[in-house]
Structure 1
Amino acid sequence: MTTQTQKLYETDFNLWLETTAQLLRERRLDQIDYENLIEEIEDMGNSEKNALESNLRILLMHLIKWRFQASKRSNSWRYTIIEHSLRINKAFKKSPSLKRYFDEVFEECYQDARLLASGETGLAEEEFPVTCPFLREDVLNPKYLPDEEVNE
């Protein structure tokens, strides 16, 4: 049956998921398509990490814009800051171990956010500090807005 289950993976992914779940419930472990199951579990972890990075980049980009383009602040920016901070915090509630990954990728995401902010604002990337001006705990606070006005 493992060969059948492997073929199912390639032809009907949803049915493969249902079948695999049923086999696990019934403890019919000799019929599990372990190779694809392991790959899918690893992909789930990678998806969570990718979502965290994406939310962090967007959040940092909007914090940069909020701080360095005070005259262009909008409720849309405020909403985006709140929304992406909430998404990150919710991810931490579901998977507390993602906090370690957050710390690992924070600086890289900030550098990406500088580039994105430059592209969106038209300001040179060099206009934004090389080192992140926001504390990590502030970034995770959905009510945080950097009110310091710079480069008006």
Structure 2
Amino acid sequence: MFSLKGDRPNLYETDYLQWIETTVKKLRFGDYTNVDWENLIEEIEDMGRSERRSLKSNLIVVLVHLLKWQFQPECRSGSWEGSIIEHRRRIREAILESPSLQPYLESIFAECYPQAVKQAKAETRLPLEAFPQQCPYELVEVINDEFLPE
């Protein structure tokens, strides 16, 4: 890989970890003119996107397992319940570490449900019609450790 700024590859492209360590040193010592700002800004933006993707993924996993729990009760298992607990914990931790993710969680809740239904259908082999078209749970229930649908 070569930089668009010249023929030589830069540290970001050749040794990511060393680029991070070098960038941190430059920032700590106030050497701002030599910071690779373009890549640093891109990395920070990626961190935000990654946090949102992770939150969405964890929400979908919880919804999938709640649907399976409710609509395939004969197959309930400790691993389903364990998965629900684990992914709820991840959601809670993400919100505690970054409270600004709470509005994002609320905004994606409705769009995550159809994705969860699709996955639950695939995992249970139940027909799509077996699941409600609208999410039968409130967000507060989905993230509540005490909630399991009957």
TM-score range, shorter chain: over 0.9
Q: Does 1:89 align with 2:92?
A: yes
Secondary structure class of the residue paired with 1:37: helix
Find 1:139's aligned residue among 134, 138, 142. 142
- Per-residue displacement from partner, 1:50-103 (whole Å, max 9, x unpaired)? 111110111000000001111111111110111111110000000011111111
Segments of 5+ residues of structure 2 without an aligned counterpart are none
- Per-residue displacement from partner, 1:86-138 (whole Å, max 9, x unpaired)? 11000000001111111111111111000000000001122111111011111
Give 1:75's aligned residue: 78
Q: Cα RMSD (Å) of the superposition? A: 1.1
Give 1:126's aligned residue: 129
Answer yes or no: is the 8 Å Cα contact 1:83–1:142 preserved in 2: no
TM-score, normalised relative to structure 2: 0.92
Answer yes or no: is the 8 Å Cα contact 1:82–1:143 preserved in 2: no
Percent identity for Structure 1 against Structure 2: 49
Structure 1 stretches of 4+ with a deviation exceeding 3 A read none
Give 2:37's aligned residue: 34
Number of residue equivalences: 143
TM-score, normalised relative to structure 1: 0.91
Give 1:61's aligned residue: 64
Q: Greater relative contact order: 1 or 2 (C-alpha under 8 angstroms, separation 6 or more)?
A: 1
Q: Does 1:114 align with 2:117?
A: yes
Secondary structure class of the residue paired with 2:10: helix
